[in-house]
Structure 1
Amino acid sequence: MPSIYTIKPAFQNLLRPLCKWLAGRGITANQVTVSALLLSIMTGVLLALNPTNILMFLSLPLVLLIRMALNAIDGMLAREHAMQSALGAILNELCDVASDAALYLPFALLPNVSPTLTVFIVVSAIISEMTGVIAVQIGASRRYDGPMGKSDRAFVFGAIGLAVGVGVTPGPWLNWLFAAVLALTVLTVINRARHALLEASI
């Protein structure tokens, strides 16, 4: 199913000059991966400590964009500048789900927002990424199928952060949107598992 992930090659092309610049200065892929995690944790902590300061949520779209850029750069550094490592593979997967949790759980503290839905989204997101990784164990490729992959979640939560930050009051509309995100994330788990099984059977 369609996913924002499909535009990743074009995004990487835009970032390639910066990637080469970082490689030339000895910046490693793992350092970039950890930097993205630290940025996410710091932002998440600030949001959690100031849930009533809606202006704080204006920072979320920018932070998510920077995080997506860092995630693309660490992959390019690893593949194109001979920095691939077992540690890097582990950090890449663990830091992604930890970053998601850090950035999205603070939404549970917003007034009139269902904490249960927010937590379920984060948990299902972790399961969807785990499903993508498990595909490798059965002989398939790492699955990134949508419709609610990492990039799609970033887009949705970034848009919500922008809306809240400019003064749109959280309310039932946000719970309905979160319910849709949760349903699409569950569908993502199913799609990744199904495509992994199909690929492994070929």
Structure 2
Amino acid sequence: MGTNDRRPIAARASGWAAKLSAALAQSSITPNQISVLSIFFAALGAMMLVWSPTVPGLLLCAICVQLRLVCNLLDGMVAMEGGKQTATGALFNEFPDRIADSLLIVGLGYAAFTPWLGWLGALLAALTAYVRIFGGSLGLAQDFRGPMAKQHRMAVLTAACLLAIAERMTLGSDYSLIIGSGVIAAGSLLTCISRTRAIAAQLQAGG
């Protein structure tokens, strides 16, 4: 994967990320293993949403989402900056993301007692990636714009979990979860539209 096809992440410049990725690059751990680990954290978070959407479960889910994102950050840094790129790196860079996204977003729908909304959000989230990669297949730079790119989806999901904890402890209601699920679905649809329009504009302008 070229540098133009990497998602812009500000945390790459942070000291802790550089030190941790350097340590991992010196170990026997591969970038692909880190990518697969992100699925484990996503699955654990999704389990909490589906089977234990209690205050402790929601808190654990929020933590798992952040750990999933840390894996997504470090796999690329270990591969690129750490010099451990592999022939299958591009495959592992994309597929675990789609699985992790789907697990968490579907899980959020079930926690909000609206499974259909979770499945719709997961479908639209996968479609945002499809549009991005399709643009790349046409020779254009991959477009990571929002309003609901991966980091935005995970930020909304984390906020929904934390707000649901506060909401349950104060009001005893669960509106935060269904609102979060709806925001992810609607935002992902808008992201598909914005990325598609950007691709069309570049093609009309000759790339």
For the aligned pair, the TM-score class normalised by the smaller chain equals 0.7 to 0.9
Change (3 A) 1:176 1:61: closer
- Between the aligned partners of 2:105 and 2:184, the Cα distance in structure 1 is 12
Question: Residues 58 and 162 of structure 2 are in contact (CA less than 8 Å); yes or no, is this contact kept in structure 1?
Answer: yes
Other-structure match for 2:157? 157
Q: Deviations for 1:103-144, whole angstroms, at most 9, x for unmatched residues?
A: 221222235x42222211111001111111111111112221
Structure 2 residue 174 is matched with structure 1 residue 170: yes
- Between the aligned partners of 1:35 and 1:164, the Cα distance in structure 2 is 27
Q: Which runs of 5+ in 2 are unaligned?
A: 1-6
- Between the aligned partners of 1:61 and 1:45, the Cα distance in structure 2 is 12
5 Å matches for 1:10-159?
11-14=11-14, 15-51=17-53, 53-110=54-111, 113-159=113-159
Question: Residues 157 and 180 of structure 2 are in contact (CA less than 8 Å); yes or no, is this contact kept in structure 1?
Answer: no
Question: Residues 60 and 162 of structure 1 are in contact (CA less than 8 Å); yes or no, is this contact kept in structure 2?
Answer: no
> What is the aligned length?
193
Other-structure match for 2:191? 188
Displacement of 1:64 in angstroms is 1.5
Question: Residues 49 and 110 of structure 2 are in contact (CA less than 8 Å); yes or no, is this contact kept in structure 1?
Answer: no
Other-structure match for 2:3? none
Question: Residues 141 and 196 of structure 1 are in contact (CA less than 8 Å); yes or no, is this contact kept in structure 2?
Answer: no
Q: TM-score, normalization: structure 2?
A: 0.84
Q: Which runs of 5+ in 1 are unaligned?
A: none
Question: Residues 29 and 88 of structure 1 are in contact (CA less than 8 Å); yes or no, is this contact kept in structure 2?
Answer: yes
Change (3 A) 1:86 1:140: farther
Amino acid at match of 1:56: G
Question: Residues 42 and 68 of structure 2 are in contact (CA less than 8 Å); yes or no, is this contact kept in structure 1?
Answer: yes
Displacement of 1:167 in angstroms is 4.3
- Between the aligned partners of 2:104 and 2:177, the Cα distance in structure 1 is 16
CA RMSD of the aligned region, Å?
Answer: 2.0
